[in-house]
């Protein structure tokens, strides 16, 4: 692979004796990985049902390698059921090393297409708030889809410039992830187009942006909160230097050690202005030291551990306590989950289930708040694709589940009407949650043994 000579020279200076083994990696195949969605399935159960060979990523509990030259996990019904996300193994590290707990208010500031946000959301277990933001509104649409596919409903998905977001959320979040836009040097092997992009916009261009983003993020973190900064590049000006900039500008922050793995290399304090020794607690991932493409991570804390504020002082806006439309009430009776009525919000035809503790966001550019439950149409309620993905099969009273070997599963994903007489009684009718091996894929409406397909058209299985 042809690399820019300026890049090679820099890596030689950075790695010294290790440079030959680093550069030799470019003649080896890239790593393919998938990360299990633990909100929907345990790692143990996934191992049991996974239809292709996988190997544990040793530093990620729910991360696995697969052979991307032989299998296409994105073309399997389990992918459509949101059971996993395809992700290069070193990119799994940032979300795994930010200690998110159920109930936290979490911000993923540069989130699209959702590789880290989906893991942060899974860790929340449906409690607290995941705010996933990306400056690009087109990329934010893909982000929303992945969050919905993962079944995560306690969300705010927005598309704002970080400074503007900071006006809405001063000292609000318990945990923040900044997976910063970067020159992408760690992605050269995975995607050759990155080399050309690097030649156009290199480390100096991104370093300026990153220094701005990290300060904006800092102002949104509560006292005692934790923030993880990551890039997929090697240049110190985008890594140690950005952290040094934060420590100079916001002295209340300190660097925290990251849960170790034998392949991690320490950060390099001597490569940043001021050579703060705590930068040695940041982590570098190099492909010649472990089986991942390349990353940098820094875990930071603002001040000392302070008691969590929770929703205190940030009252969510009061929602109108109006009677729910009858058709919605009727549908909600079919759900075997506890929904808190004061979190139901109706905007025009659309019904949402709002996350805990979201403050007033009027004026913010957002794509979604909460879980879209469905739409009120004339005298009916139509449940949404997002709700199907957020449910477990046992949480709805009418379910049709087929094994993944049944050809009707793919036909369902293609949008076809199905004959399911063998799976239902003629007396059964109305909304059914259609599942593969017990994992929801979407809705269908049953009548006389025929299932009318309600799978979201934009998500359909595309024929190659």
Residue 186 Cβ vs ligand SAM, minimum distance, rounded to whole Å? 10
Q: In angstroms, rounded to a whole number, what is the distance separating the alpha carbons of residues 336 and 204?
A: 54
Closest CA to 71 of 128, 125, 32, 27: 32
Residue nearest to ligand SAM (CB): 115
454 is in an annotated binding site: no
Q: Which is nearer to ligand SAM, 87 or 154 (CB)?
A: 87
Residue 110 Cβ vs ligand SAM, minimum distance, rounded to whole Å? 3
Q: Which residues bind ligand SAM (CB under 6 A)?
A: 110-116, 134-136, 139, 162, 179, 181, 209, 213
How far is the CA of 347 from the CAs of 130, 263, 350, 354, 366, in angstroms?
Answer: 21, 50, 5, 12, 14
184 is in an annotated binding site: no
Asked whether 180 and 91 are in contact (CB, 8 A), the reply is no
The strand pairing partners of 64, in sequence order, are: 34, 56
314 is in an annotated binding site: no
114 is in an annotated binding site: yes
Q: Which is nearer to ligand SAM, 181 or 236 (CB)?
A: 181
Q: Which is nearer to ligand SAM, 116 or 408 (CB)?
A: 116
280 is in an annotated binding site: no
Residue 450 Cβ vs ligand SAM, minimum distance, rounded to whole Å? 40
- Annotation marks residue 232 as catalytic: yes
Q: In angstroms, rounded to a whole number, what is the distance separating the alpha carbons of residues 160 and 165?
A: 6
Residue 3 Cβ vs ligand SAM, minimum distance, rounded to whole Å? 20
393 is in an annotated binding site: no
116 is in an annotated binding site: yes
Active-site residue identified among 50, 182, 232, 435: 232
Q: Which is nearer to ligand SAM, 113 or 203 (CB)?
A: 113
Q: Which is nearer to ligand SAM, 115 or 294 (CB)?
A: 115
Q: State the greatest distance between any 2 C-alpha atoms of the chain, in Å, as a whole number.
A: 75
Q: Which is nearer to ligand SAM, 115 or 355 (CB)?
A: 115
Residue 451 Cβ vs ligand SAM, minimum distance, rounded to whole Å? 34
Residue 386 Cβ vs ligand SAM, minimum distance, rounded to whole Å? 19
Active site residues: 232
Residues placed in the known binding site for S-adenosyl-L-methionine: 110-116, 134, 179
């Amino acid at each position: 692979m042809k690399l820019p000579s300026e890049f090679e020279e820099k890596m030689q200076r950075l790695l010294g004796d290790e440079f030959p083994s680093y550069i030799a990696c470019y003649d080896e195949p890239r790593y393919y990985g998938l990360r299990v969605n633990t909100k929907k399935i345990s790692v143990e159960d996934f191992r049991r049902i996974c239809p292709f060979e996988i190997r544990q990523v040793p530093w990620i509990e729910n991360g696995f390698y697969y052979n991307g030259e032989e299998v296409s996990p994105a073309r399997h019904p389990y992918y459509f059921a949101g059971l996993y996300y395809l992700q290069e193994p070193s990119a799994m590290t940032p979300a795994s090393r930010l200690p998110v707990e159920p109930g936290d208010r979490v911000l993923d500031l540069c989130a699209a297409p959702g590789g880290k946000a989906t893991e942060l959301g899974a860790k929340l277990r449906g409690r607290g708030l995941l705010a996933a933001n990306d400056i690009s509104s087109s990329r934010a649409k893909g982000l929303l889809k992945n969050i919905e596919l993962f079944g995560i409903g306690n969300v705010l998905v927005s598309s704002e410039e970080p400074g503007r977001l900071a006006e809405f959320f001063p000292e609000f979040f318990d945990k923040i992830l900044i997976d910063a836009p970067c020159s992408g040097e760690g992605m050269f092997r995975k995607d050759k187009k990155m080399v050309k992009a690097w030649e156009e916009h290199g480390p100096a261009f991104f370093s300026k942006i990153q220094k701005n983003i990290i300060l904006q993020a800092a102002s949104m973190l509560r006292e005692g909160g934790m923030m993880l900064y990551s890039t997929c590049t090697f240049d110190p000006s985008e890594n140690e230097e950005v952290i040094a900039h934060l420590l100079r500008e916001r002295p209340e922050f300190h660097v925290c050690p990251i849960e170790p793995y034998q392949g991690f290399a320490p950060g390099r304090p001597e490569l940043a202005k001021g050579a703060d020794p705590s930068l040695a607690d940041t982590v570098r991932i190099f492909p010649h030291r472990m089986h991942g493409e390349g990353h940098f991570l820094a875990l930071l804390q603002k001040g000392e551990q302070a008691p969590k504020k929770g929703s205190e002082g940030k009252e969510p806006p009061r929602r109108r306590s109006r009677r729910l439309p009858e058709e919605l009430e009727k549908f909600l009776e079919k759900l075997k989950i506890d929904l808190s009525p004061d979190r139901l919000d109706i905007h025009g035809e659309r019904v949402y289930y709002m996350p805990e503790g979201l403050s007033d966001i009027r004026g913010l550019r957002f794509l979604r708040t909460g879980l879209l439950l469905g739409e009120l149409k004339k005298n009916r309620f139509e449940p949404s694709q997002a709700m199907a993905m957020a449910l477990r099969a046992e949480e709805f009273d009418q379910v049709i589940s087929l094994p993944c070997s049944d050809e009707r599963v793919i036909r369902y994903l293609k949008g076809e009407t199905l004959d399911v007489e063998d799976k239902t009684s003629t007396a059964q009718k109305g909304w059914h949650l259609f599942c593969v091996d017990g994992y929801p894929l979407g809705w269908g409406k049953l009548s006389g043994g025929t299932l009318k397909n309600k799978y979201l058209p934009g998500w359909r299985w595309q024929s190659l």
